[in-house]
Structure 1
Amino acid sequence: MDVIDVTVSAIRLEGQQLREDPEDDSLIELAQDIAAKGLLQPLGVLGIGKGKFQLVWGSRRLAAVKRLKWETVPAHVYADKAIPIKALALVENLQRRNLTLSEEVEAVKHLGEDEGKSIEEIAAFISKSRSWVLDRVMIPSLQDDMRDALIEGAVSLKHIEAISRIEDQPTRSLALAHIITSRASSHQAKLIVAQFYSNPHVAQAIAHGEKIHSGEISVPVATKACESCFTVVPITDIIFVGVCKDGCRSKSNPDRPTEDDSPGPGSGSS
């Protein structure tokens, strides 16, 4: 398969959805990137005779170079129709950013297992970073509850990265459940994991089927200050907007300090 400079006007778009919306920010960014760095990944075209070509893949890149008013564009030229159509269709879908995480995982899996591409080749083929590809390669190997939570959107890849530091599988599951129920941010997840990771008793307790909250063994709890009363409480007691879930100190919560009890700016002993 050769790579040659093909005349842009000689490329036909039958069956392709070429979007050239002048307000498409991602297309504008792509054009700017190509103008600065050049076209790192050539288009794919099928020679159809008389100097004409059928676009196979790379519609957004073609739209970008048209925006830049290029007369020619580098392209892989296929001599026949023996083209990996599924792989090329996956590339187009990935570049349009309209796939779910599960579909992205399947796309990367197909390119690696069925097309025999390496991590670096996949990254170049779909114009993604190596780390982006590695993340999708890693997902199928996650334990079931972590993978399901990630695919369902209950946690992010950053959460999973933090939880994966825990070596013991039952403890990972416990940390995952704690992070989900407490709606922890990725930063808070790191704090939670650090507490689990530094407590050698937790994994031992789970392994022996003990109840985590019984006796001397308890689940490590990350804390956060309420944004209203400034009390430091477990993050499970903080609702999404950042204030005490059960209300700041009032008649029903005499143990919680009110804002009047909290030191204000410039306060202190004179």
Structure 2
Amino acid sequence: MDQEVFDDNKIEHIPINEIRPNPYQPRKHFNEHALEDLAQSIVQHGVMQPIVVRKSIKGYTLVAGERRLKASRMAKKTTIPAIIKQITDEEMMVLSIIENLQRENLTAIEEAESYQQLMTHLELTQVEVAEKLGKSRPYVANMLRLLALPSRIQKLITSGKLSSAHGRTLLPLKEEDVMMTVAQKSMRENWSVRTLEKYVNDFVFRAPRKESVTQKPKLIRQYEAQLKDLYGATVDIAVVKKTGRITFEFTSEEEFKRLIDELSNKE
């Protein structure tokens, strides 16, 4: 589908004021300085790559090319080169996300929200979303975990003050105020993800009594990390004498159902 959409299409110049925004656009933040630079380029050279639109009852609906459309408006253009497509809502949604992912324009939170949007509106599983977008299932699962973070932590990630990996590492802390305190300490002291993970683990699993905590063997910690990457969830492996326990942590009913589905379908 993705390749066919852009091949062998006629380019037309259509009125900009007849183009409505894409309702499935995952990107919410646009760099104003970059838009101004693009607008200046359009003034000098025109729009080098056509946008993609879908014909609607009145005018057109944008499918791909919002930056070019915004910059063209800034450049006071009245028309814009466009390819007019006959596509479904599903194709429109997927194309919007793919364009932004390929251009690396989405923030981590916007990317996670786009995956959630596909799952909700198209009733897709994480596996199906991964297949449609050419991503691995664990990658999609890890991105979706960001949506379980409080909005204040999400804003730190969106602004670039905190990485998405740091954000996911904060999830076991559960309480928003605790997350913010630790996040600020991490940013202030420029912690690596590994340093933050050790701090969070020590914080979460700290014994209430003055008892020595035995460090887990390196092999066990490696297995925990492998399972975490595979299933996109925090994993704890505990071994007492000859009895072992593997615990998967989830933060919502949806994540619980996702884990059950993943565990049930593993070959």
**Category of TM-score, reference length = shorter chain:** 0.3 to 0.5
**TM-score of the superposition, structure 1-length normalised?**
0.42
* CA radius of gyration, larger in: 1
- Higher relative CO (Cα under 8 Å, sequence separation at least 6) belongs to 2
**Which structure shows the higher helix fraction?**
2
State the TM-score, normalizing by the size of structure 2.
Answer: 0.42
